[in-house]
Amino acid sequence: MTNLITWELIQGETKNFRFVVKDESKNVIDVSEAVCTLIGKSSLGATTNLFEKNDTDFNHSNGVNGILTVVLDSNDLDFSGIAYCVLKIVITSGQDVDKYLFRLELQEAP
């Protein structure tokens, strides 16, 4: 897993994530009508989720500019260690699904 983005966070904090979706030519993609999910797991093969955010949790208000935001609150981030996260974006129903993988590393609160 080369080039896996890692964010370091403090356990139990609230974090606002902002994603900018672009095509291969670096042009923004309109995601205002996209259906999104964000799932965090303790490992890529885990069968249970540490947290899950569904489409209604995402802010699509700036989606025409390719921007999606979602808040992970203190309940979502109430664990320690590493979460492997998959952001899934379905732009047009029935077409390919775009998936993005990143890692969250949570440190215990001081």
The two structure tokens encoding residue 21: 């979706």
pTM above 0.85, yes or no: no
User: For position 57, what pLDDT does the model report?
Assistant: 97
pLDDT at 1 over 50: no
φ/ψ bin of 63: left (φ > 0), alpha (ψ from -120 to 50), beta (otherwise):
alpha
Delineate the domains of the chain, giving CATH numbers in brackets.
5-73+87-107 (2.60.40)
For residue range 15-54, what is the model confidence (pLDDT) as tens digits?
A: 898 888 888 888 888 999 999 999 998 888 899 999 999 9
Average pLDDT, the chain: 83
* Residue 53 neighbours by CB under 8 Å, 6+ apart: 36, 37, 38, 39, 70, 72, 76
